[in-house]
Amino acid sequence: MTLMPAAASRPADFAHVRDLAAADMQRVDALIRQRLSSHVVLINQIADHIIASGGKRLRPMLHVLAAGAAGYTGEQQIKLAAVIEFIHTSTLLHDDVVDESDLRRGRKTANALWGNAASVLVGDFLYSRSFQLMVELDDMRIMRILADTTNTIAEGEVLQLLNIGNADVGEAAYLAVIERKTAVLFAAATELGGILGGLPETQVAALRRYGMELGYAFQIADDLLDYLSDAGTLGKNIGDDLAEGKPTLPLIYALEKANPEQAQSLRHAIEHGGLDSLDRIIASIRDSGALERTRDRALLHAQAAREALSALPASAYRDALATLTDYSVQRTF
């Protein structure tokens, strides 16, 4: 099973998007490396590990593309993109500690290499570094959006923690978590591009709506991949969400359709974590049609994101943002 029909897949398109953003992203990467530098050796070691771990830098890329779609020709998008990446990376460091993860993007996590305390503290360093950059922009509206966004992300982390091991979490509660944990940062990234470009408020709102819907699509697709992929492609082990007791959408949908025996196994897996009878549980999820329902939900949000772009003037940057709606649900990692 794939996230999208093979005929709809255009893998070359993402390379085109990266090419369009490449000049700005090279400057963003250079600024990230410069601002990650510290007199504290351990911070530099963990920062180097994070940079070497790669990643698509999708969130800062979204920002520079949105700024381009808004017709912005200044320089502030570079600092803002770095701020967005610092916020995102700090949440990853904290997430891996909370989830006790030892693998991300196919590499050992920072907490697996240096311990939980170092990871949490370097995550705090990245948060504070992001606010130093933010202040340099000297724009209260931008600072308010980013401050509200980081606070909302923290709320999402706590909500997810409360949901772990709870087999009664429904679709609405799941969506509330991914909105706060994932979608709001996508939305801030694209909204800020519109603000930099001085777009009318209706178009700024459209860019925010695009980012929010794209964030939903991206995270739902990511949760689906947990049952379709493996460490060699996704960068984490299949069933990791299940092992951590996370009731993601495939599990929620599977519980709705499961027979009593399957429901008991699924509830036990969520409530107790672990990977006992993983093959049987994944088979139950697949037999229930939950994966197809999850894929369809991701596609629904991707389409809503694409439709939001109709409010913007035509440009290569708008086309690139549209391409990312396809990419969000076509990717295999």
Regions of the chain short of the pLDDT cut 70? 1-12, 54, 103, 105-106, 229-239, 274-276, 332-333
Query: Per-residue DSSP letters for 137-201?
Result: H--HHHHHHHHHHHHHHHHHHHHHHHHTT-TT--HHHHHHHHIIIIIHHHHHHHHHHHHHTT--H
Instruction: Tell me what pLDDT residue 34 has.
Output: 93
> What pLDDT was estimated at residue 327?
93
Rounded CA-CA distance 127/90 in Å is 6
Do residues 115 and 109 lie in contact, with contact meaning Cβ atoms separated by under 8 Å? Answer: no
Residue 226 has phi, psi (to 5 degrees) of -60, -20
Query: What's the confidence (pLDDT) of residue 333?
Result: 57
| Alpha-carbon gap, residue 306 to 329, rounded angstroms | 12
Ramachandran area for residue 276 (φ above 0: left; ψ -120 to 50: alpha; else beta): beta
- Using CA atoms, how far apart are residues 289 and 291, in angstroms rounded to an integer? 6
Start-to-end CA span in the chain (Å): 14
Which pLDDT does position 232 carry in this prediction?
47
pTM of the full structure: 0.92
Query: Would you say 82 and 60 are in contact if contact means Cβ atoms under 8 Å apart?
Result: yes
